[in-house]
């Protein structure tokens, strides 16, 4: 008999793992995800990506606000699952939930633990200029991403790679890794290795206050900041002119040529000076518009050499 599983996940990153688990014939007793939230212009309630896929396969979906009640614990135990698979779920699993399944709860995490424990490991790895990252399957404990590691895969982060591109590389890789881990779990051969005690870093949630571009930083830090926040929430600058400045997101950059006062536009290729060196803006997005290349952007926006960006 295949393992009976509870799946717990919310965003797009979790969808490939759910699809692989369903496709391989595992018995999914229930899918836990975050409750629908208002989104879009009409602010209508939108189900999570995981809920949409679960409904498509007619799987039972639960959206509790908390797992820290006796009722939530009883409901979780009632599924009679052997194990739980957790991928970017969004709620903390308390000890009674972690102990409610005999084989344990296994989390797919998008970093090389213990580096980048926490909420935004993909963004933080790119923002920090890391040259590699990966995905890991670990058995969960009460601590924040502290559990022993079962399996891992490493991925090189290219010098111009964005967080969105890295996300799309890691999601299917992680799904395959989780399937391999579940297979070993079924066979009773899944080994666990404690995480290293050194090298711990935390990937805190991205705050709005840190998304504005600071041109007084060296070009490499500006470049990593922009690509680490692309495509969402997006690093931005204020374009002067008109009644009030226009907010422009920078979705893709590369190293530029030339130097100048930080924030100064250099030449006609959308190169902007930083404290050390410069960055060339390759893809941008004005508020309320679609993303566009630098060439497309310049057709409708005057950005001449010497202009200062805020």
- Does the structure show a pLDDT above 90 at 246? no
Region 234-245 average pLDDT: 85
Yes or no: say if 112 and 193 are a contact pair by the CB < 8 Å rule.
Answer: no
What's the CA gap between 83 and 61, in Å, rounded? 17
Yes or no: say if 16 and 174 are a contact pair by the CB < 8 Å rule.
Answer: yes
Give the pair of three-digit tokens for residue 241: 């002119």
CATH superfamily, with its number, for domain 208-300: Formyl transferase, C-terminal domain (3.10.25.10)
- Does the structure show a pLDDT above 80 at 107? yes
**pLDDT-derived band of residue 304, with 50, 70 and 90 as boundaries?**
confident
| Confidence (pLDDT) at 268 | 73
pLDDT in tens, 287-302: 889 999 999 999 888 8
Pick from 174-178, 256-260, 266-270: least confident: 266-270
At which residue do the structure tokens 């939930």 appear?
Answer: 97
Residues 6+ apart with CB under 8 A from 103: 3, 82, 83, 185
- Does the structure show a pLDDT above 90 at 173? yes
Neighbour count for residue 60 (Cβ, 10 Å): 13
Q: Where are the alpha helices (DSSP H) in 91-246?
A: 95-98, 121-127, 163-187, 219-228
Pick the CATH number of 4-202 from 3.40.50.170, 1.20.1250.20, 3.40.50.150, 3.20.20.140: 3.40.50.170
User: Following DSSP, what letter does each residue of 18-80 receive, concatenated?
Assistant: HHHHHHTT-EEEEEE-PPPEEETTTTEEE--HHHHHHHHTT--EE--S-S-SHHHHHHHHTT-
Could you say which DSSP state residue 210 is in?
G
Neighbour count for residue 33 (Cβ, 10 Å): 27
| Confidence (pLDDT) at 43 | 78
At which residue do the structure tokens 């295949």 appear?
Answer: 2
| Confidence (pLDDT) at 1 | 80
- Does the structure show a pLDDT above 80 at 41? no
- Whether residue 239 has a cis bond before it, omega within 30° of 0: no
**pLDDT-derived band of residue 55, with 50, 70 and 90 as boundaries?**
very high
Region 188-199 average pLDDT: 97
| Confidence (pLDDT) at 72 | 97
What's the mean pLDDT when you consider all of the chain? 95
Q: Do domains 4-202 and 208-300 have the same CATH topology?
A: no
**pLDDT-derived band of residue 282, with 50, 70 and 90 as boundaries?**
very high
Residues 6+ apart with CB under 8 A from 42: none
Region 255-264 average pLDDT: 95
What's the CA gap between 147 and 94, in Å, rounded? 14
Residue 113 backbone phi and psi in degrees, to 5: -55, 145
Domain boundaries, the chain: 4-202, 208-300
- Does the structure show a pLDDT above 80 at 6? yes
Q: Where are the alpha helices (DSSP H) in 132-194?
A: 163-187
């Amino acid at each position: 008999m295949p393992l009976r599983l509870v799946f717990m996940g919310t965003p797009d990153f979790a969808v490939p793992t759910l699809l692989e688990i369903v496709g391989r014939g595992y018995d999914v007793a229930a899918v836990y995800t975050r409750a629908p939230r208002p989104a879009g212009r009409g602010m209508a309630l939108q189900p999570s990506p995981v809920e949409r896929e679960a409904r498509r396969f007619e799987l039972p979906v639960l959206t509790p606000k908390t797992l820290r009640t006796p009722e939530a614990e009883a409901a979780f135990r009632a599924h009679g699952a052997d194990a739980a698979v957790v991928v970017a779920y969004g709620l903390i699993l308390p000890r009674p939930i972690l102990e409610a399944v005999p084989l344990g709860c296994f989390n797919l995490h998008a970093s090389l633990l213990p580096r980048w424990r926490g909420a935004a490991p993909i963004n933080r790895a790119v923002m920090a200029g890391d040259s590699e990252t990966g995905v890991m399957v670990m058995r969960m404990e009460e601590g924040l991403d502290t559990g022993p590691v079962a399996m891992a895969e490493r991925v090189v982060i290219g010098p111009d790679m964005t967080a969105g591109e890295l996300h799309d590389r890691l999601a299917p890789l992680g799904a395959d890794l989780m399937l391999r881990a579940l297979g070993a779990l079924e066979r009773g051969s899944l080994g666990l290795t404690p995480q290293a005690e050194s090298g711990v870093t935390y990937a805190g949630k991205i705050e709005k206050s840190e998304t504005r571009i600071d041109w007084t930083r060296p070009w490499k830090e500006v470049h990593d900041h922009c690509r680490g926040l692309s495509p969402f929430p997006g690093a931005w600058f204020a374009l002067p002119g008109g009644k009030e400045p226009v907010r422009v997101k920078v979705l893709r950059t590369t190293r530029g040529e030339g130097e100048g006062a930080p924030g100064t536009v250099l030449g006609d290729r959308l190169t902007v000076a930083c404290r050390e060196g410069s960055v060339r803006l390759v893809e941008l997005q004005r508020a309320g518009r679609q993303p566009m290349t630098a060439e497309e952007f310049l057709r409708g926006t005057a950005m001449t050499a010497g202009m200062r960006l805020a």
